[in-house]
Amino acid sequence: MLIKYIRMHNIRSYISQEIRFPDGSILLSGDIGSGKSTVLLAIEFALFGIKRGDLSGEALLRNGKKAGMVELGMELEGKEIAINRKLKRTNNGVVQDSGWIEINGKRLEASPVELKAKVLEILGYPDELLTKGKDILFRYTVYTPQEQMKQILLESKEARLETLRKVFQIDKYKRIRENALIYNRDLKEKRRELEGKASDLDAKKALMKDEQTEMEKDRAKLAAIEPMLVAAKNKVEQTRNKYLEVEAKARRLNDLKREFRVKEVDLINKADQHQRNSKEIEALENEMKSLQPGTLQKKIEESRNISVQVQEKNRKLQDMQKQLSHVGKQVAQLQARIGQANEIKAKISNISLCPICEQEVGEKHRHGINEREDSKITAAKDEIDKFLKAESAMEQQMKDAETEIEAMRKKERETEALRIKWQNYERNMERQKRISDQQDALKKEIGAINVAKNELSREIKALQNTESEYMALRKQLDEAIEADKKIGIEYASLKKEAELRERLISAVKDEVASKEEAVRKSTEIAQYMNWIDSFFVDLMSTMEKHVMAKIHGEFNELFRQWFATMVEDETLSVRIDDEFTPIVEQDGYETDIGYLSGGERTSCALAYRLSLNRVINDLVSTIKTKDIIILDEPTDGFSSEQLDRVRSVVEQIAVKQIIIVSHEPKIESFVQNVIRIRKNEHISQIFA
């Protein structure tokens, strides 16, 4: 893993800052309190988030700000990775908000816990660190805060050993031993259960043997009764076949009797019909005689032209009505003439001057006009009298015509009645013919029915013994079925008993097999328990000792080398005892670390830290943070000569990226890159 950049927004003394990290050795330079360690805390926060009791949100979020953010960019196994974490202030304190992780441009939104799980995965750290508050591997291989550098030297040997067990993942051997003992207790309980399960194995075997003996007896009984059952079924089958044959004859007999009864009924019905037809023919003949068809036909023929005569009379009557109407019009015209003449006479008698020529009208002229008009009146009256006489004659003729028409219509109605009688006569003739034809057909049908009855009687007589034979076979079949049923019930009962016994034997056999398997497993478990107690637990202890011995040897050698590099004093040396406690020797005598100078104590702590880093990276193959180390104020209390030795330390740390935090200006000459940090008015910034 190589860090490429970090962006901080409202993180402690930083408001908004981006820092780029090149490869090689890097110094974060600045005065005490300028914000150098904040960068390291921000890196740790970006990777693992808030850690309760160690790295809180209140310690990271800038005072007075509601939200903050850290984004860390890094390179890992050729992948470009960016991690973004957020802080927000709530009524209950500062908490983490959802963030994201981006790998080769593919971004994944995630909760704080999901981010930590993903980071542990890509760094190759164990999954169990997800639920632990402290990131031990990171703290002992990559970055240890300044105030915790000497802690591992000063804490109790028990706490130190426990910490180292976790760091080197050696505590797994202890867990394996503990789990093996727990597993052994579980096996012991399981063995007790298996022994209890198999306690009645002998009784079950005896039961199975007894039931198998009874099963043989059941099979012998079944073998004896099976031929009886087959014989009974054969008898039922044979009797049923005979019964079915006779049953077919009985059905045929019933069908014949039913058909015979139908023929008898049909014969009676047709005889009755024949008798009714004879009576109807007789009645029709009497009725036709009463009609006197010769006389009737003659009367109809005589009155055949009455309708034509009525139509002719009606036409003449209409002509007379037209003439009478014309006479009326003529009389009206003549009366109008008389009126005009009287009007002229009245006018001429009352005027003295002519209204046209205005000449005086003389008495002679007036007299001449009166004579002329009187002549017109007389002529008109004569014509009216003539028309009135003609009208009277015509009215009489019309009355006579109407009387004749009425008489003719009466005769026409009588003729219609005669025609209806004639139609009835013709229908009766047709009816008589149809009935006569029907009578002939009935005679033939009655003859055929009598023939069929005789044939049916013959067949019925031939089958007259079928009913008694049918009843006898019915009884035999019932008896055969009953016998078969009785034997079948006995056979089924025996077979059911045998099946139940067989299932019982099968169940007991399974139970015996299960109990034998329990005995086998109990024996196997006893072997497992003995193997765990006598071999496996001791093996884990031996493996732990071998691993610890290897770690101890490598650790001790590295610890002595690093200390000798930083402290040039032949009388002063260091080593670690069997419990990884640092031992300081001066002039061949052990001395307490507390008696060392500040620089010597720091050198001892740094040597222990660098040794621990190298051994962890060598032994824990899965971690992917071997290319980087971060040193936070590693030269606290160093003399000028010791600071010169730091150059050699930096050169000997074989990693691709070293980030050193220090306020010592001299260290700038030991590194390849310097990042200067300055705080102004409580705000930290990077400057050239």
**Higher pLDDT pick, 59 / 198:** 59
| Alpha carbons 421 and 299: distance in angstroms, whole number | 12
CA distances, 418 to each of 253, 301, 422, 428 (Å): 62, 10, 6, 15
| Alpha carbons 617 and 629: distance in angstroms, whole number | 11
Are 402 and 317 contacting, i.e. CB atoms less than 8 angstroms apart?
Answer: yes
Instruction: Give 460's pLDDT tier (boundaries 50, 70, 90).
Output: low
**Mean local confidence (pLDDT), 45-49:** 93
pLDDT above 90: residue 8: yes
Q: Which range, of 158-162, 165-169, 290-294, 511-515, averages the lowest pLDDT?
A: 290-294
pLDDT tens per residue across span 220-261? 777 777 777 777 778 778 777 776 776 676 676 667 667 777
Tokens encoding 241: 């076949």
For residue 674, the model assigns a pLDDT of 94
Are 87 and 60 contacting, i.e. CB atoms less than 8 angstroms apart?
Answer: yes
- DSSP class of residue 653 equals -
- DSSP class of residue 383 equals H
For residue 442, the model assigns a pLDDT of 72
Q: Which of 610, 519, 498 is nearest to 561 (CA)?
A: 610
**Which pTM does this prediction carry?**
0.53
For residue 134, the model assigns a pLDDT of 63
Q: Which of 163, 153, 159, 161 is nearest to 600 (CA)?
A: 153
**Mean local confidence (pLDDT), 45-52:** 89
With vertex at residue 67, the alpha carbon angle to CA 64 and CA 69, rounded to the nearest 5 degrees, is 125
DSSP-derived 3-state class of residue 479: helix
| Alpha carbons 5 and 2: distance in angstroms, whole number | 10
Tokens encoding 563: 């200390």
CA distances, 513 to each of 197, 206, 209 (Å): 12, 14, 14
Tokens encoding 627: 């290319």
CA distances, 640 to each of 30, 150, 360, 645 (Å): 18, 21, 186, 9
Helix (H) or strand (E) holding 108: strand 106-110
CA distances, 685 to each of 44, 67, 481 (Å): 20, 19, 113
CA distances, 199 to each of 166, 194, 296, 515 (Å): 47, 9, 129, 8
DSSP-derived 3-state class of residue 579: coil
Q: Which of 162, 127, 161, 123 is nearest to 143 (CA)?
A: 123
Tokens encoding 294: 């010769």
Share of the chain above pLDDT 70, in %: 86
For residue 304, the model assigns a pLDDT of 63
* Residue 191: how many other CB atoms lie within 10 Å: 19
DSSP-derived 3-state class of residue 529: helix
DSSP-derived 3-state class of residue 360: strand
Instruction: Give 428's pLDDT tier (boundaries 50, 70, 90).
Output: low
pLDDT tens per residue across span 296-326? 566 666 566 666 777 777 788 788 788 878 8
What b/e sequence results for 479-500 when a residue is b if at least 16 CB atoms lie within 10 Å of its CB, and e otherwise?
ebbebbeebeeebeebeeebee
E-strand ranges in 479-558 read: none
Are 566 and 602 contacting, i.e. CB atoms less than 8 angstroms apart?
Answer: no
> β-strands 24-29, 673-680: how paired?
parallel
**Domain architecture of the chain: domains with CATH:** 2-169+567-687 (3.40.50.300), 292-462 (1.10.287.510)
Q: How many CA atoms lie within 13 A of 482 on its CB side?
A: 6
| Alpha carbons 656 and 624: distance in angstroms, whole number | 13
pLDDT above 60: residue 403: yes
| Alpha carbons 87 and 327: distance in angstroms, whole number | 134
Give start and end residues of each alpha helix (H) in 168-200: 171-197
Share of the chain above pLDDT 90, in %: 19
**Mean local confidence (pLDDT), 168-186:** 84
Tokens encoding 243: 């019964």
Alpha-carbon dihedral of residues 433, 438, 439, 441, nearest 10 degrees? 130
For residue 532, the model assigns a pLDDT of 86
Instruction: Give 652's pLDDT tier (boundaries 50, 70, 90).
Output: confident
Instruction: Give 275's pLDDT tier (boundaries 50, 70, 90).
Output: confident
Tokens encoding 431: 């009816």
Give the contacts of 541 (CB within 8 A, at least 6 positions apart): 173, 177
| Alpha carbons 673 and 656: distance in angstroms, whole number | 13
- DSSP class of residue 66 equals S
| Alpha carbons 170 and 550: distance in angstroms, whole number | 12
pLDDT above 80: residue 104: yes
DSSP 113-145: HHHHHHHHHHHT--GGGGG-SS-HHHHHHTEE-
pLDDT above 70: residue 290: no
For residue 246, the model assigns a pLDDT of 67
Are 8 and 86 contacting, i.e. CB atoms less than 8 angstroms apart?
Answer: no
Give the contacts of 433 (CB within 8 A, at least 6 positions apart): none
| Alpha carbons 319 and 327: distance in angstroms, whole number | 12
**Higher pLDDT pick, 69 / 547:** 69
Report for 105-119, 449-463, 633-647, 653-667: range of highest mean pLDDT: 105-119
Tokens encoding 295: 């006389």
For residue 299, the model assigns a pLDDT of 60
DSSP 558-574: HHHHHHHHH---TTEEE
**Mean local confidence (pLDDT), 607-617:** 85
**Mean local confidence (pLDDT), 154-164:** 76
Tokens encoding 223: 């073998």
Q: Which of 117, 174, 130 is nearest to 164 (CA)?
A: 174
**Mean local confidence (pLDDT), 409-419:** 68
Q: Please name the residue that has the structure tokens 């077979």.
A: 495
Tokens encoding 450: 């009598």
Are 475 and 239 contacting, i.e. CB atoms less than 8 angstroms apart?
Answer: no
Residue 146 C-alpha from the chain's centroid: 62
pLDDT tens per residue across span 366-396? 778 888 888 888 888 888 888 788 777 877 8
pLDDT above 90: residue 495: no
Tokens encoding 71: 């984004």
Q: Which range, of 162-176, 295-309, 535-549, averages the lowest pLDDT?
A: 295-309
Give the contacts of 458 (CB within 8 A, at least 6 positions apart): none
| Alpha carbons 47 and 350: distance in angstroms, whole number | 153
For residue 17, the model assigns a pLDDT of 95
